[in-house]
Amino acid sequence: MKAILYTDYGATDVLQLREIEKPSPKENEVLVRVHASSINAIEWRRFTVPFVARIFGKGLLHPKNMTIGGDLAGRVEAVGANVTQFQPGDDVFGVQIGAFAEYVCAAEKNLVLKPANVSFEAASTLPIAGLTALQGLRDQGKIQSGQSVLIYGAGGGVGTFGVQIAKSFGTEVTAVCGTRSMDVARSSGADHVLDYTKDDFMKSGQRYDLILAANGYRSLFEYRRALKPNGTFVVAGGSFTLMIQSLLLGPFLSLLDGRKMRGVMARVNQKDLGALKELVVAGKVVPAIDRTYPLSKVVEAMNYVLEGHVRGKVVITC
């Protein structure tokens, strides 16, 4: 079977289309014929990872796990002896490392059935970005109906899901994105859309109950000043500086007054994948797909993502 591997760290040219052995499912695994996957920041960070991060299990000089891709949507071809929820022929979506491939063995607990009226391409955009937005707003942000919510980086994958999920909770949503992404932010349901190249949300005087930085490049202290007295800031992605500030200073700043600083990384579980599925079936979340590339064009797709300003998600078809 064909799969994308990376044998070294560096630029996108380390990604290679290789012929490898088709896997066989273990007792609690499902063999999926992958129809579509999608690109998240975790993919490009996997091979462009800074040297310091390599010592934390990713391989010091060369990658330990050369497969790549996380989101998947496809059809079950075989199941392990202990699998009870799926059978050959089922259409599923979920998460498994190595999804940039024609086949992948995924843990049963990381999959749910795909709705019949949702395409493989659309389903493949949901897992990682959707879980990040859902868990960031619901679990870390404690989102409540009637709140004012700001989504910074509202034009990308996490951002477009964040706007729609926040609206599903009955909140007033302000989306901040680039000029090119304003249309997708509006179509996602944002009540107000700000172009960060022209409008500075910090200077509007508006304060928010909850801020989700889906792709944050402002200072942690700036986001903090834009919160209401008991507001919450959640960082889901963005600059390395913001990540470090949130990790090191967030817990301390949260102790100073009622404003809370949080971070979120997607936790894969069937319950939340099911929640995303229900939102899509109800029409409350509609995946935004910018471009679609075949598996053989992953390098081209990754280069497009790294240029920035992707509107929604970039999908890989297998």
Q: What is the tens place of the pLDDT at every residue in 268-303? A: 999 999 999 999 999 999 999 999 999 999 999 999
**What pTM, to 2 d.p., does this model score?**
0.93
Where does the chain hold its CATH 3.90.180.10 domain(s)?
2-126+287-317
Q: Which residues of 172-196 are buried (b: 16+ CB within 10 A; e: fewer)?
A: bbbbbbbeebbebbbebbbebbbeb
d(CA 157, CA 131): 11
Q: Looking at 154-158, 176-180, 307-311, which range is the least confident one?
A: 307-311
Of 280, 292, 300, whose CA–CA distance to 318 is shortest?
Answer: 292
Of 22, 12, 13, whose CA–CA distance to 43 is shortest?
Answer: 12
Report the Cα–Cα distance between both ends of the chain, in Å, rounded.
11
Q: Taking all residues of the chain, what is their mean pLDDT, rounded to a whole number?
A: 91
30-73 pLDDT, tens digit each = 999 999 999 998 887 777 765 555 655 566 666 777 889 999 99
d(CA 33, CA 101): 9
> DSSP class of residue 204?
S
pLDDT at 55: 57
Q: Does domain 2-126+287-317 have CATH number 3.90.180.10?
A: yes
CB 187 within 8 A of CB 211: no
Name the architecture of domain 128-263: 3-Layer(aba) Sandwich (3.40)
pLDDT at 6: 87
If phi > 0 it is left, if psi is from -120 to 50 it is alpha, else beta; for residue 118 that is beta
Residue with the larger pLDDT of the pair 80 and 47: 80
Environment class of 24 (CB within 10 Å of its CB; exposed 0-12, middle 13-18, buried 19+): exposed
d(CA 192, CA 174): 5
Where does the chain hold its CATH 3.40.50.720 domain(s)?
128-263
Evaluate if residue 201 carries a pLDDT over 90.
no
- Say which amino acid occupies 183: D
The DSSP-derived string for 222-282 is: HHHHTEEEEEEEEE-SB-HHHHHHHHHHHHHHHTTSS-EEEE------HHHHHHHHHHHHT
d(CA 246, CA 240): 10
d(CA 119, CA 112): 14
CB 285 within 8 A of CB 277: no
Pairing of strands 208-213, 148-152: parallel
Mean of the pLDDT values across residues 164-182? Answer: 96
In terms of average pLDDT, the best of 11-20, 154-163, 214-223, 256-265 is 154-163
Residue with the larger pLDDT of the pair 47 and 137: 137
Q: Match 């809370």 to its residue by tokens.
A: 260
d(CA 60, CA 298): 25
Mean of the pLDDT values across residues 123-149? Answer: 97
Within 13 Å and on the Cβ side, how many CA atoms surround 148?
A: 12
Residue with the larger pLDDT of the pair 217 and 183: 183
